[in-house]
Amino acid sequence: MDAKNYVEKVLEDVKRRNPGEVEFYNAVNEVLHTLIPVLEKRPELIEAAILDRIVEPERLISFRVPWMDDAGNIQINRGFRVQFNGALGPYKGGIRFHPTVSQSIVKFLGFEQIFKNSLTGLPMGGGKGGSDFDPKGKSDAEIMRFCQAFMSELYKHIGPDVDVPAGDIGVGGREIGFMYGMYRKLSNSSSQGVLTGKPLTFGGSLGRTPATGYGLLYFANEMLKDKGTTFEGKTVVVSGSGNVAIYAIEKAQQFGAKVVTCSDSGGYIYDEEGIDLAVVKQLKEVEARRIKDYLEFRPKAKYVEGSTNVWEVKCDVALPCATQNEIDKASADLLIKNGVQFVAEGANMPTTLDAIAAFQNAGIYFGPAKACNAGGVATSGLEMTQNSMRLSWTFEEVDDKLKGIMQNIFAASKAAAKEIGDEDNLLAGANIAGFLKVSDAMMKQGLI
């Protein structure tokens, strides 16, 4: 079978075997088409049914999470962990707490994680997990009881050499701390390397909190350099106001850019003079308030209630840092019309496939999530290293390594794109560079 027909056959199988899993199908679709040039050169990969194998998780765990809220009511949520591909090392990827979490969401994220983790150059397989639990409005005690209930099942399936979860949407240091406490109690083991993104007093790494946002900017900076320009004086639009968005804004400002927006699920802020990051940090990291309260501190800014479409604001660089499918074709067209030159994805799969095509057709330089946001998991990999060595590196040591890793990911993606004669196609380049390493490991490990 030739490469194109093989890819179409696998995609049809994925659709048939995973009914209704739209996000998972879209993630697979995006990757598989870009691998055709590799399969054309390497027919032995088709012989080995490599794509049929890579789209099927090694293991998928789904479990009941019963817990009691502050009013004494019993609540039931659903927990997931997908252990997608372990060819390169222990499964690695975050845990998401959000009402939209489903099997499809966890599988799309786990699938992306395989290639992202491969790109970091560190020995990590791909995994992801989460629950449809909504942390919004919950007390600290409810969050703790939920995390404990979640870990009371998950602990059977993870371990420092097996599967190492971390945070994602709705899961930060507080939740990781509660989950680590329960893991330690149930497993009678104090292996700190079982979770990353831990608080600093029990094995957390300096530099993990800002790593995804900083890493995004280190990657985007390489994109701008490649086109002979810098962030100095550029207008940047950012979505979200969580972990990734906050540290993307911080580094963009350090690079001399003016960031004019941020958002949450209720609406967005447009601050023409530039976002005051101290206010956003206070509202989101300290007080857990809504972004609209930004106006209390910056009355000249504008709040657009009920819209998360920051993409209607004119900019040079767009950095989606909130959630999946947040830039659709209409938003992409608007960005293009308003003169955007660079788009780099901080969130996972924030740009729909037709929006990516619109950027590429318009000659906008596009940086895909699995390359741009790999700094978070890369720094988690560095946390695992420090945990096994039982030592801690300084912030500067970690940040230097992060910068080097992001520069390497850019270089590898660019080189792979050049190899297929499409040198600005970083999406294809990242997919191919990530795939080559995983497929090599899978081939050498035999049919397992």
Ligand X SMILES: NC(=O)C1=CN([C@@H]2O[C@H](COP(=O)(O)OP(=O)(O)OC[C@H]3O[C@@H](n4cnc5c(N)ncnc54)[C@H](O)[C@@H]3O)[C@@H](O)[C@H]2O)C=CC1
The stretch near ligand X (CB under 6 A) out of 163-171, 175-183, 218-226, 330-338 is 163-171
State the nearest-atom distance from the C-beta of 92 to ligand AKG, in Å.
Answer: 5
- Sign for the pseudo-dihedral over CA of 263, 267, 269, 270: positive
Contacts of 333 (CB under 8 A, 6+ apart): 358
DSSP percent split of the chain into helix, strand, coil, nearest 5: 50, 15, 30
279 contact choice in ligand X, ligand AKG, none (CB below 5 to 8 Å, kind-dependent):
none
Backbone angles phi, psi at 136, to 5 degrees: -60, 125
Pattern of binders to ligand X over 329-358, x per CB under 6 A? -----------------xxx----------
Q: Is residue 264 a contact point for ligand X (CB under 6 A)?
A: yes
351 contact partners, CB below 8 Å, separation of at least 6 = 320, 325, 326, 327, 332, 343, 345, 359, 366
Q: How far is the CB of 245 from ligand X (least distance, A)?
A: 6
Helix extents (H) in 292-373: 294-297, 329-337, 353-361, 369-372
Q: How far is CA 311 from the centre of its chain?
A: 20
* Among ligand X, ligand AKG, none, residue 345 binds (CB under 5-8 Å by kind): none
- Footprint on this chain of ligand AKG (rule: CB under 6 A): 92-94, 116, 166, 168, 196, 348, 373, 376-377, 380
Q: Is residue 85 near ligand X by the rule CB under 6 A?
A: no
Torsion angle of the four alpha carbons 347, 353, 356, 361, in this order, in degrees rounded to the nearest 10: 180
CB 381 within 8 A of CB 124: yes
The minimum distance between CB 193 and ligand AKG, in angstroms, equals 12
Query: What sign does the CA torsion over 410, 416, 418, 420 have?
Result: negative
For ligand AKG, which is the closer residue by CB, 126 or 429? 126
Residues placed in the known binding site:
92, 113, 116, 167, 212, 243, 380
128 noted as active-site residue? yes
Task: Find the binder of ligand X among 77, 113, 212, 309 (CB under 6 A).
Answer: 212
224 vs 372, beta carbon nearer ligand X: 372
Binding site for substrate, by residue number, is 92, 113, 116, 167, 380
Q: Is there binding between residue 399 and ligand X (CB under 6 A)?
A: no
**Least separation, in Å, of the C-beta of 407 and ligand AKG?**
18
Tell me whether residue 229 or residue 385 sits nearer to ligand AKG (CB atom). 385
The one of ligand AKG, ligand X, none whose footprint includes residue 196, by CB under 5 to 8 A per kind, is ligand AKG
Strands (E), 1-73: 59-68
Considering only CA atoms, which of 427, 412, 376 is closest in space to residue 166?
A: 376
Q: Which does 243 bind (CB under 5 to 8 A by kind): ligand X, ligand AKG, none?
A: ligand X
323 or 425: CB nearest ligand X? 323
Select from ligand X, ligand AKG, none the partner in contact with residue 320, using the beta carbon and a kind-dependent cut-off of 5 to 8 Å. none
In whole angstroms, how close is the CB of 162 to ligand X at the nearest point?
Answer: 21
For the purposes of burial, counting CB atoms within 10 Å of the CB of 232, is it exposed (0-12), middle (13-18) or buried (19 or more)?
exposed
Phi, psi of 161 (to 5 degrees): -110, 10
Complex with ligand AKG: residue 158 or 358, whichever CB lies closer: 158
Q: Rounded to whole angstroms, how far apart are CA atoms 101 and 78?
A: 9
116 touches 370 (CB < 8 A): yes
Catalytic entry in 4, 15, 41, 128: 128
State which residue, 239 or 348, has the beta carbon closest to ligand AKG: 348
Which DSSP symbol is given to 194?
A: G
Among 77, 85, 243, 425, contact with ligand X (rule: CB under 6 A): 243
Evaluate the CA torsion angle 143, 148, 149, 153 in order and state its sign: positive
Catalogue the active-site residues.
128
Query: Footprint of ligand X on this chain (CB under 6 A)?
Result: 167-170, 212, 240-245, 263-265, 308, 321-323, 346-348, 373, 376
